[in-house]
Amino acid sequence: MEFREAQVVRGRLFRLLALLLFGILLTNLLVLTVAQHDYYRNRALKNRQVQFRVPAPRGRITDRDGVPLADNTFNSDITVSASQFADGQPDSALSWLLRWFDLPPEETLADLEAQVARHGGRGRAVLVRGADMRQLTTVEERRSRLPGVRVESRWRRRYLHGSLLTHVIGYTGEVGPDDLRDAAPGMDYRVGDYIGKQGVEEAFEEQLRGGTGIKLEEVNATGRIVGRESVWIRAVRPGRDVALTLSLPLQMAMDSLMAGRRGCGVALAVPSGEVLAAVSLPSFDANIMTGAISTDQWRELSEDPAKPFFNRLVQATYPPGSLYKAVTSLAGLARGVVDTGSVLEPCPGGYQFGNRWFRCWKAAGHGVLDHAGALANSCDVFYYQLGLRLELADLAEAAAVFGLGQRLTGIYPGEAAGNVPTDDWYNRRMGVGGWTRGVLLNNAIGQGEILVTPLQMVFLSARLAADGRVPGPTFVQGQQPAVPTVNLPYRPSHMAWIRSALRQVVDAGTGGAARLAGVAVAGKTGTAQNPHGDDHAWFMCYAPAEAPEVAVAVILENAGHGGSEAAPVAGAWLREYFDWRHGIRPGIGGDS
Amino acid sequence: MIRLGWLWPRGDGRLMVLYALLVIYSLALLWSVTEPLTGAYSEMRVDVPKSVFWRQLTWIIISWVAIGVVSRVPLRYLENVSWPAYLVVVLMLAAVLAVGPEVAGSRRWLAFGALRLQPSEFSKVALVVLLATWLGRRVEGGSRVGATMGSMVLALVPAILVLREPDLGTSLVFLAIWLGMIFWYGISGLLLLTALSSSVSAVIMFYSESILEQPWPWAVYLLALMAVLYLVRGGLLASGLVLGANIAAGLGIPLVWTRLQPYQQDRILTFFDPSRDEHGTAYQAIQSKVAIGSGGLFGTHYLQGTQKGLAFLPERHSDFVFSVAGEELGLLGAGAMLVLFLLLVMRAIRVAMEVRSPFASLLAIGVASYFTFHVVVNVSITTGLLPVTGLPLPLISYGGSSLLASSLMVGLLMNLSVHRYDD
């Protein structure tokens, strides 16, 4: 076949091939643009539309007068991806930042690893928290050379008074695995969100947190927002403020009066039950918990023998010591085993029961005392005898009326109930027959197995002051009290008597250090024996004695006598209180 | 009076219209691609600057002049310069390997100051002309097998040099041109069968070994091939040749595979299994399909494509420019472009069938092969039918060398259309 003739055949074949190939292309194009159009249009949409969660600013926490105690700052953090420091080796961008920001490499890397360890070694870690302008511009200007490094802005909690209110307010921290698991439906927590931990922050989380918003943003191929089609799927609902019943000046007064000591000072408004001041020392700065607390800082705090994490207000339990004598007296009066004017065997400085000598705190003895004198001078021998005339059930019944042995707040999950022992309790604890009526002697003076929290003692004081018409303590305005008011099952004459006896304690007894000029104070001192060291100093009181409006309880750990250590703190705080409430500053230790 | 008539190319008017439509289409796409991107891209240099459009416009003017010149060159003169031209481009390709600046791991350019030329593009033109000369002189008499083998060597030299750059896509162009022209020259059925079945053997072997990691598909293929050879009674020698070539191709492919660059291996593996690498090489292919698919029938409208405008689409001014057409102008726009190319190829085949001289006919079919391979492979890549390899869309993609080479091809065709009846 000649070349020219073959050309025609081959030309047809070539045309056929070209038509076939272009036909395939066109068919494929048809499939993509028509049959699969919806799929690819969605892919294109998903490419450029990204949902962003916009966290709400957390509600502020204020004192009773609206003074802010906790608010928020809008911070920019410099964050890096976990892949940038895999196996403890920083990549070039991270190494550069470490040098540029002059960060110690070893510690910083350990900190970064600790941050992502909570999330299985993935995600992002904060390199610089709350970066300053210089650091932010450094990163922004070098974006192209710092792949993986991001600036992320978010609300961060700020506690305006550091450690002053930590045990009342609690703090916020990043949600942990437990929080994510246990979260109430609808709260929508994600890794990296903040959640209230402890105290009011935890109890009022739902109100404070508000609602996270969801926004649809158009992003470009590098993931940056281009800001063309921003659509709110769900609006941000800012958290609502929470007003405490606390007064900042009163809190500060209590804190400075107890400065350097360990213990707890708490005051209630009577009869509302609102907590006016609540100090637990030592404390710690709540602000450190909102950041990533360093391991060293954490260890230092958690290994501190003074236990700064321990909320003594509601978590610590101590024997009430002589504060409890007020309860014992009322139990005795109610059972009719003593009268208001009863005089028992004189006090020689101790009391023989069986083969054991129970000492009075005053080794020289009190001699002959009537019931009121015994309370005022806190004579143990009188109460040993009174205790022996009672049953444990009588004491427990009286204790229950004042809220002992139960949780009072309803908002502190770690709150202790304390312990009011009964026959059953001793039977369970020591076995039937494993104990004697000797325990009554100890219980009558508030020692031994009976345990109370400082909050329970201020509540006892408030209920003594107001005939029981004080509801459970509240920390937040509008909070429903966890314990209702009661009518005390005691005769008015008995209540009048005990109130005058408590006034006697301050006017002429062991509580003289809490005496104020111009304002009558009624109270009771206590010295709780402590098997592990020096005695704890207790004092509870209310004022003015004739028309009570405030109750106070103070405990100073290992400080010794309540009268000499705790009572002056309560007295000095009451001065501040009357200045704050009525604009008068009663003198200390004046005549009543 | 200055005579400017020489500026107007001589030859087939319809061919000129096709060419003009394609380069105008190219300018329209490049204008869209070089519009500023939406949003801040400070962390990546992903913007395609407007200068790309103006440079391409300059190259179009240069190419226009080049077509005018090439369309007037006497054919005999073309035959005479075919060897020197070929030797020059081969030397340039060697020079690229020796002194070319390295960009992203490969050497593809020769830089003369600000001007960067891609010799591999011009070598396609030189190869077409030389193969037409070589094969055209061997149409009558002599050994056809010798002519075939000789032409294969001529095609392999630039192909191997370009493969070393490395640029797999372009080196395949030389083989495609050779295949098209050797088919036109008249290859024996036996050779054709040997070549085609060997390629199939290689692909099946690769698929068995690298993807399935089991040898049985290749074994089954060989058994089937032997059965076919027995049934057609091809003769012992021919059957042995076919079988031997198949076994060699099958066993050779692992050797070729190990010689490939890692990124080339990646792209091929990713093509067979896109989930391997959602953000690497598959990213380009996926984003390209998303762009075309989301364009639908009529597109998102000119300048409005988000895949393009938000920089999701990589290489949108060069190898993936077709996807921009698909996104913004839809099936209608992209399909129209394909039809223009098809008409161009059909025109070239028609010329090849009509011209009298074997040289002219082979030249025309070389041009047809060139456009067919480029367009089919480039569009197949952008629509996900083939693994990603760098290959521009002729006359449309940004790039001066590529545009000039394609224009020279069109210019040759114009020239031939005038010399239809020359011997």
pLDDT digits (tens, 9 = 90+) for A275-284: 999 999 999 9
Interchain contact B56–A (C-beta under 8 A): no
Taking alpha carbons only, the member of A40, A29, A226, A36 closest to residue B287 is A40
Q: Picking from A141-145, A199-203, A452-456, which range would have the lowest pLDDT averaged per residue?
A: A141-145
- Asked whether A322 and A539 are in contact (CB, 8 A), the reply is no
Q: Distances from the Cα of A394 to the Cαs of A330, A390, A431, B276, in angstroms?
A: 10, 6, 21, 78
* CB nearest A30 (choices: B37, B291, B331): B331
* CB nearest A11 (choices: B338, B349, B380): B349
Interchain contact B119–A (C-beta under 8 A): no
Please tell me the predicted confidence (pLDDT) of residue A68. 95
DSSP type of residue A183: P
Positive/negative CA dihedral, A345, A346, A347, A350: negative
For chain B, the maximum distance between any two Cα atoms, rounded to a whole number of angstroms, is 76
Q: Quick check: A43 and B294 CB within 8 A?
A: yes
Give domain status of residue B155, yes or no. yes
Please tell me the predicted confidence (pLDDT) of residue B206. 80
Taking alpha carbons only, the member of B299, B290, B406 closest to residue B28 is B299
Please tell me the predicted confidence (pLDDT) of residue B394. 96
Q: Quick check: B39 and A21 CB within 8 A?
A: no
Contacts 24+ apart (CB under 8 A), A585-590: A586/A516, A586/A517, A586/A518, A586/A519, A587/A516, A587/A517, A587/A518, A588/A515, A588/A516, A588/A517, A589/A512, A589/A513, A589/A515, A589/A516, A589/A517, A590/A515, A590/A516, A590/A517, A590/A518
Q: Which amino acid is at A365?
A: G
Residue A116 pLDDT more than 90? no
d(CA A148, CA A91): 10
Taking alpha carbons only, the member of B191, B180, B190, B184 closest to residue B149 is B191
Assigned token pair, A47: 């490419």
Chain B residue numbers with beta carbons less than 8 Å from the beta carbon of A15 are 346, 349
Interchain contact B297–A (C-beta under 8 A): yes
Per-residue pLDDT reduced to its tens digit, A409-433? 988 888 999 999 999 999 999 888 8
Taking alpha carbons only, the member of B218, B207, B211, B224 closest to residue B248 is B218
Per-residue pLDDT reduced to its tens digit, A96-113? 889 888 888 888 888 888
Chain A residue numbers with beta carbons less than 8 Å from the beta carbon of B326 are 29, 32-33
Report the domain count for chain B: 1
Q: Quick check: B289 and A40 CB within 8 A?
A: yes
| Cis ω for the linkage preceding A531 (within 30 of 0) | no
Q: Which amino acid is at A221?
A: A
Chain A residue closest in CA terms to B323: A29
Interchain contact B58–A (C-beta under 8 A): no
d(CA A556, CA A565): 7
User: Which of the given ranges, A85-89, A162-166, B45-49, has the highest pLDDT on average?
Assistant: A162-166
Compute the average pLDDT of residues B319-336.
94
Assigned token pair, B197: 């079945």
Angle between helices B236-259 and B216-232 in degrees, nearest 10: 160
Chain A residue closest in CA terms to B378: A25
Whole-number mean pLDDT of chain A?
A: 88
Percentage of residues of chain A with pLDDT beyond 70: 95
Between residues B44 and A170, which one has the greater pLDDT?
A170
Residue B3 pLDDT more than 70? no
DSSP H or E stretch at residue A279: strand A275-281
Give domain status of residue B129, yes or no. yes
Residue A28, min C-alpha distance to chain B (Å) = 7
* CB nearest A222 (choices: B41, B289, B331): B41
DSSP collapsed to 3 states, chain B: CCCCHHHCCCCCHHHHHHHHHHHHHHHHHHHHHCCCCCCCCCCCCCCCCCHHHHHHHHHHHHHHHHHHHHCCCCHHHHHHHHHHHHHHHHHHHHHHHHHCCEECCEECCEEECCEEECHHHHHHHHHHHHHHHHHHCCCCCCCHHHHHHHHHHHHHHHHHHHHCCCCHHHHHHHHHHHHHHHHHHCCCHHHHHHHHHHHHHHHHHHHHHHHHCCCHHHHHHHHHHHHHHHHHCCCHHHHHHHHHHHHHHHHHHHHHHHHCCHHHHHHHHHHHCHHHHCCCHHHHHHHHHHHHHHHCCCCCCCCCCHHHHCCCCCCCCCCCHHHHHHHHHHHHHHHHHHHHHHHHHHHHHHHHHHCCCHHHHHHHHHHHHHHHHHHHHHHHHHCCCCCCCCCCCCCCCCCHHHHHHHHHHHHHHHHHHHCCCCC
Interchain contact B142–A (C-beta under 8 A): no
- Asked whether B198 and B211 are in contact (CB, 8 A), the reply is no
- Asked whether A465 and A522 are in contact (CB, 8 A), the reply is yes
Give domain status of residue B228, yes or no. yes
Give domain status of residue B208, yes or no. yes
Q: Picking from A114-128, A221-235, B81-95, B154-168, which range would have the lowest pLDDT averaged per residue?
A: A221-235
Per-residue pLDDT reduced to its tens digit, A477-509? 999 999 999 988 999 999 999 999 999 999 988
Please tell me the predicted confidence (pLDDT) of residue B38. 65
Q: Looking at chain A, how many residues does it have?
A: 592
Nearest 5 degrees, angle CA A220-CA A144-CA A134?
110
Which DSSP string do the residues of A210-257 spell out, in sequence order?
-B-EEEEEEB-TTS-B--SS-EEEE--BPPPPEEBS--HHHHHHHHHH
Chain B residue numbers with beta carbons less than 8 Å from the beta carbon of A218 are 38-39, 310
Give domain status of residue B112, yes or no. yes
* CB nearest A18 (choices: B41, B292, B346): B346
Between residues B227 and B59, which one has the greater pLDDT?
B59
Please tell me the predicted confidence (pLDDT) of residue B40. 53
Q: Quick check: A10 and B183 CB within 8 A?
A: yes
DSSP type of residue A46: H
d(CA A114, CA A121): 9
Between residues B37 and A252, which one has the greater pLDDT?
A252
Q: Distances from the Cα of A33 to the Cαs of A456, B314, B316, in angstroms?
A: 76, 20, 18
Residue A24, min C-alpha distance to chain B (Å) = 9
Q: Quick check: A33 and B140 CB within 8 A?
A: no
Residue B344 pLDDT more than 90? yes
* CB nearest B385 (choices: A15, A28, A33): A28
* CB nearest A33 (choices: B43, B44, B296): B296
* CB nearest A44 (choices: B290, B331, B383): B290
C-alpha B154 chain-centroid distance: 17
- Asked whether B176 and B367 are in contact (CB, 8 A), the reply is no
Taking alpha carbons only, the member of A468, A523, A456 closest to residue A492 is A468
- Asked whether A448 and A529 are in contact (CB, 8 A), the reply is no
Per-residue pLDDT reduced to its tens digit, B269-325? 766 665 555 555 667 888 889 899 999 899 888 888 878 777 778 788 889 999 999
Nearest 5 degrees, angle CA B31-CA B36-CA B40?
160
Per-residue pLDDT reduced to its tens digit, B187-243? 766 777 787 788 888 888 887 777 667 778 888 888 888 888 888 776 788 888 888
Residue A63 pLDDT more than 70? yes
Taking alpha carbons only, the member of A314, A493, A488 closest to residue A402 is A488
Give domain status of residue B238, yes or no. yes
Between residues A390 and B3, which one has the greater pLDDT?
A390
d(CA A376, CA A322): 10
Residue A366 pLDDT more than 50? yes
Q: Quick check: A18 and B40 CB within 8 A?
A: no
Interchain contact B296–A (C-beta under 8 A): yes
Whole-number mean pLDDT of chain B?
A: 86
d(CA A181, CA A250): 39
Chain B residue closest in CA terms to A227: B39
Compute the average pLDDT of residues A115-142.
79
Q: Per-residue confidence at A15, pLDDT binned at 50, 70, 90?
A: very high
Helix (H, G, I), strand (E, B) or coil at A432: coil
d(CA B184, CA B365): 7
Q: Quick check: A14 and B365 CB within 8 A?
A: yes
Among A24, A28, A29, A218, the strongest candidate for a mutation testing the B interface, having the largest count of B CBs within 10 A, is A29
* CB nearest A43 (choices: B290, B310, B346): B290
Please tell me the predicted confidence (pLDDT) of residue A588. 72
Please tell me the predicted confidence (pLDDT) of residue B43. 47
For chain A, the maximum distance between any two Cα atoms, rounded to a whole number of angstroms, is 148
Residue A592 pLDDT more than 60? no
pTM over 0.95: no
Give domain status of residue B1, yes or no. no
Nearest 5 degrees, angle CA A147-CA A149-CA A154?
150
Q: Quick check: A30 and B353 CB within 8 A?
A: no
Q: Quick check: A29 and B37 CB within 8 A?
A: no
Compute the average pLDDT of residues B26-40.
83
Q: Quick check: B46 and A221 CB within 8 A?
A: yes
Q: Picking from A166-175, A213-222, A343-352, B377-386, which range would have the lowest pLDDT averaged per residue?
A: A213-222
Q: Which amino acid is at A241?
A: D
Task: Give me the residue label for tokens 């009342």.
Answer: A168
Q: Which amino acid is at A573?
A: W
d(CA A1, CA B423): 18
Interchain contact B187–A (C-beta under 8 A): no
d(CA A284, CA A304): 11
Question: What ipTM was predicted for this assembly?
Answer: 0.88
Per-residue pLDDT reduced to its tens digit, A228-256? 667 788 888 889 999 999 999 999 999 99
C-alpha A381 chain-centroid distance: 40
Assigned token pair, A416: 């202790």
Between residues B42 and A588, which one has the greater pLDDT?
A588
Domain that holds residue B132: 6-38+47-418
Residue A121 pLDDT more than 80? no
Give domain status of residue B362, yes or no. yes
Assigned token pair, B249: 């191709």
The size of the A-B interface in CB pairs under 8 A is 156
Between residues A217 and B99, which one has the greater pLDDT?
B99
Please tell me the predicted confidence (pLDDT) of residue A222. 62
Chain A residue closest in CA terms to B180: A14
d(CA A332, CA A100): 75
d(CA A536, CA A558): 4
